Chains A and B, each alone.
Chain A
């Protein structure tokens, strides 16, 4: 598995797209810091970008890589290697290289602008950690989709739909149900609904660490009571881990049964 991981990883590291992705974050980081020169404010702006873009790029990259390396995968399958290691290797290769681009791309400008001297370092780390989680989650999900669909167009379609659902539609449904059931106590419901969607969960986790959480008012206080404590933090991290593990297991399950 490690060999394949290494191969996929180096393959991607050498590819143009990783550089583009890396350069995108690098410029984004520099431009943001150049424009307001305040590390903690830049973290807020970055949050918006990260929460929408990382899942999208993870999804598309994952599907694209799977379909592109299909022939190579078939070649590997002919060798005496375990199926799980082939697919896991590819998965970790893609997710790992994307995460590396993210961490380096954002890390370099922030470090240069004095991250270590500011008190935003914890918020920034949290931002990168959730970013990494989101990458792993969405690459995993897209691999599962790609492996279940021979048809590339269908696979792409489903993957983009999945992103659209989790990033936009889910919040829409969430909002609708909050308004429809406004007569009822909704605190537990909104807590659970937030925790179930990795994008919402990351957004709330970061928001609560920032000043802006005061805007959340009464509901925010409840959220803070849950997510702000150590237990809440552990629970939310556990949920993110679960979100990462489940697609991976799904990938293994699909890979084992698929007839190439």
Chain B
């Protein structure tokens, strides 16, 4: 039985109590009640939360879905889930079963949850004004076709996703048609496909996240007004892996991020009016690869260090601005001691131009011939865009 505190009841659920089932206790509880789930294992699935409740675990009780279907389904506003350990979500090829699914709800709060052996993790569907905070999602995805995403937002808005740890799922965090989402301080690693995946989502901010060792890095596609700040993209290394893939992105700001040891730091396609400020590109294969139709972008104050190719560019036309960046392979001098090199730096190597034209030529990577050609092209550019240069390269690394 519950007992009264103010107007809301507190219900205690434990294996040996009168209330030994979460599902039945939810049915009994009145709106705005609290369920305290004590330590133990509860073999339950398809728990429908259709009234505003707080369901709080004490000592991480295990809710085992026994691979039969979804575990929690939230259809009411003002629901809080806190401190539960959910395992064994049913894998289905016709339904996107999730450990926690939030449907058309507002002001939900999902925090301190641990999700393992899952299909989809936290699935927000047409929901808004909620918070997904400090959860740990550990999947064991092997194939893309029978695995789900860690945190998925679909037609949701104004949600805060913070301090989560997602690993081993298909896409770590996936956004589709979701606006005004804040994604901060998350770690998304070892996922099969993308660490973070944006589709048709505008006015979103993501900052201070770490994306590491994901199958294909991070993809941001068909979205507007995205702010990406102070994130770290590391070790997305493979023949089809990117630190970040930008496709049809307009009016974004990308600043203070670190791209380290990725095959391609940022792959840019059809993206306009983007500001790249103060990012660090370290030890990537390609730091930035521009595929086509990218106009009015500006690259300022970035550090380009020890990348095999700094910039790769596939057209002779350049409408993008490079200014005041630090390039580790810059060999110029600074006679007037103003901190900027006196000779412009040309970041596009002839080799990267040739490779763009005929991809097979990459087999000549690191051959003496290519080094000689690159050198002569740098002295007097013929093939690479003449105005693609940093007229004010920094002499010292921007700290």
Contacts and interface: CB of A to CB of B under 8 A. Distances in A.
A108 interface: no
B60 to A, nearest CB: 38
A80 interface: no
A35 interface: no
A175 B239 contact: no
A182 interface: yes
B237 A214 contact: yes
Interface stretch (B143-151, B197-205, B245-253, B366-374): B366-374
Contacts of A178: 358, 360-361
A220 B239 contact: yes
Contacts of A211: 237
Contact of A171 (B237, B241, B368): B368
B360 A186 contact: yes
Interface in A216-234: 216-221, 223
Interface stretch (A18-26, A94-102, A200-208, A249-257): A200-208
Given A47-B366, A48-B366, A200-B367, A215 B359 contact: no
- SS of A interface (majority): helix
A150 interface: no
A192 B238 CA distance: 25
Contact of B361 (A47, A167, A179): A179
Given A179-B361, A218-B359, A212 B308 contact: yes
B354 interface: yes
A135 interface: no
B365 interface: yes
Nearest to A179: B358
Interface in B374-399: none
Contacts of B372: 168
Interface string B335-367: 000000000000000000010011111111111
B281 to A, nearest CB: 15
Residue among A47, A204, A219 with max Cβ neighbours from chain B (10 Å) = A219
B239 A217 contact: yes
Nearest to A172: B369
A194 B367 CA distance: 12
B136 to A, nearest CB: 30
Contacts of A194: 363
B285 interface: yes
Contacts of A221: 239
Nearest to A194: B363
Contacts of A186: 358, 360
Contact of A190 (B308, B360, B369): B360
B329 to A, nearest CB: 14
B263 interface: yes
B58 to A, nearest CB: 46
Contact of A219 (B263, B308, B360): B360
A215 B239 CA distance: 7
A10 interface: no
A45 to B, nearest CB: 10
A7 interface: no
A219 B359 contact: yes
Interface string B216-249: 0000000000000000000001110100000000
Given A214-B241, A215-B285, A171 B359 contact: no
B368 A175 contact: no
Nearest to B371: A48
Contacts of B308: 212, 215
B364 A174 contact: yes
Nearest to B286: A215
Given A167-B368, A168-B369, A214-B239, A220 B362 contact: yes
A28 to B, nearest CB: 17
A187 interface: yes
B236 to A, nearest CB: 10
A171 B364 contact: yes
A179 B368 CA distance: 18
B285 A171 contact: no
A216 B369 contact: no
A65 B354 CA distance: 41
A217 B359 contact: yes
A214 B360 contact: no
Nearest to B240: A217
Nearest to B261: A211
A223 B363 contact: yes
Interface of B: 237-239, 241, 263, 285-286, 308, 354, 357-370, 372
17 contacts: A168-B368, A171-B368, A175-B361, A175-B364, A178-B360, A182-B358, A186-B360, A187-B360, A203-B367, A207-B365, A214-B285, A215-B362, A216-B362, A217-B362, A220-B239, A221-B239, A223-B363
